[in-house]
């Protein structure tokens, strides 16, 4: 497999992304290594080809955002919005992720080996997120579809205003958000968890997770609820 290297100490991020958007699309699957990212923003955004991008170091905001069919591996931590609005493919953060990881993801798989900050998976629309550590408050807020696996703990208001997304938590949940509830694991859940954990490279017993899903009480306006849910 062809392997090209971009050194961001000498090359602009815009030049890297221009290559990934134009030249990479014309070539068969190959690999691009990014050196010295030093927290630069928008690394490998908008991929639309089966290219593999390996970032050696820490990435800034929106790394791997709007990904489609590409594979982005960040050998460090990532700033706000990693994997935001991704459509397909894989984004793998070997370290930690800041706020809003996987926000509005429609498809694909986001893997975070460490912890994730606030609002992980906010407005999730169909993608899968696997977090090896814990997540901050308001994670999966208004998550509409997709699955999130949290191998550590979850902060306040997990799954607030949850729709059809399913959450699996192995650790403690500080509090559930409005309309979220713990439900029994089914055989389908066990199968889903086994597959997602295997893809992410985590060796946990799927039966050790709790399932969080929607009560579906917010699906219709209730004038008698007096804004209390």
The pLDDT of residue 191 is above 80: yes
What is the domain partition of the chain in residue ranges?
Answer: 1-69+77-89, 113-229
In tens, the pLDDT along 34-91 reads 999 999 999 999 999 999 999 999 999 999 999 999 999 999 999 999 999 999 999 9
In tens, the pLDDT along 153-177 reads 999 999 999 999 999 999 999 999 9
Residue 182 CB contacts under 8 Å (≥ 6 apart), including other chains: 173, 176, 210, 211, 212
Split at pLDDT 50, 70, 90, the class of 221 is: low
Q: Are 103 and 119 in contact (CB under 8 A)?
A: yes
Split at pLDDT 50, 70, 90, the class of 29 is: confident
As a residue count, the chain comes to 229
Evaluated on CA atoms 188, 194, 198, 202, the torsion sign reads positive
Share of the chain above pLDDT 90, in %: 91
Check residue 226 and give its pLDDT: 64
Alpha-carbon distances of 20 from 5, 14, 118, 185, rounded to whole Å: 12, 10, 30, 41
* Predicted TM-score (pTM) of this structure: 0.95
Of 10, 46, 47, the residue nearest 27 (C-alpha): 47
The pLDDT of residue 229 is above 60: no
Split at pLDDT 50, 70, 90, the class of 228 is: low
Cα distance between residue 21 and residue 37, in whole Å: 18
| Residue 188 CA from chain centroid, whole number | 22
Asked if CATH classification 2.160.20.60 holds for the domain at 113-229, the reply, yes or no, is: yes
């Amino acid at each position: 497999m062809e392997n090209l290297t971009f050194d961001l100490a000498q090359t602009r991020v815009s030049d890297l992304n221009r290559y990934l958007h134009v030249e990479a699309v014309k070539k068969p699957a190959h690999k691009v290594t990014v050196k010295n990212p030093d927290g630069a923003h928008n690394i490998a955004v908008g991929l639309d080809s089966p290219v593999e991008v390996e970032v050696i170091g820490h990435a800034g905001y929106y790394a791997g955002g709007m990904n489609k069919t590409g594979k982005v591996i960040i050998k460090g931590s990532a700033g706000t919005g990693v994997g935001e609005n991704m459509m397909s493919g894989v984004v793998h953060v070997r370290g930690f992720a800041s706020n809003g990881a996987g926000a509005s993801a429609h498809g694909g798989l986001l893997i975070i080996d460490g912890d994730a900050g606030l609002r992980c998976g906010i407005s999730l629309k169909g993608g899968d997120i696997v977090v090896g550590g814990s997540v901050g408050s308001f994670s999966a807020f208004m998550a509409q579809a997709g699955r999130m696996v949290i191998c550590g703990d979850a902060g306040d208001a997990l799954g607030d205003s949850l729709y059809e997304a399913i959450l699996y938590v192995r650790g403690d949940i500080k509090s559930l958000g409005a309309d979220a509830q713990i439900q029994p694991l089914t055989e389908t859940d066990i199968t889903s968890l086994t597959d997602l954990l295997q893809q992410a490279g985590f060796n946990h017993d799927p039966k050790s997770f709790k399932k969080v899903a929607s009560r579906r009480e917010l699906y219709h306006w209730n004038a008698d609820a007096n804004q209390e849910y």
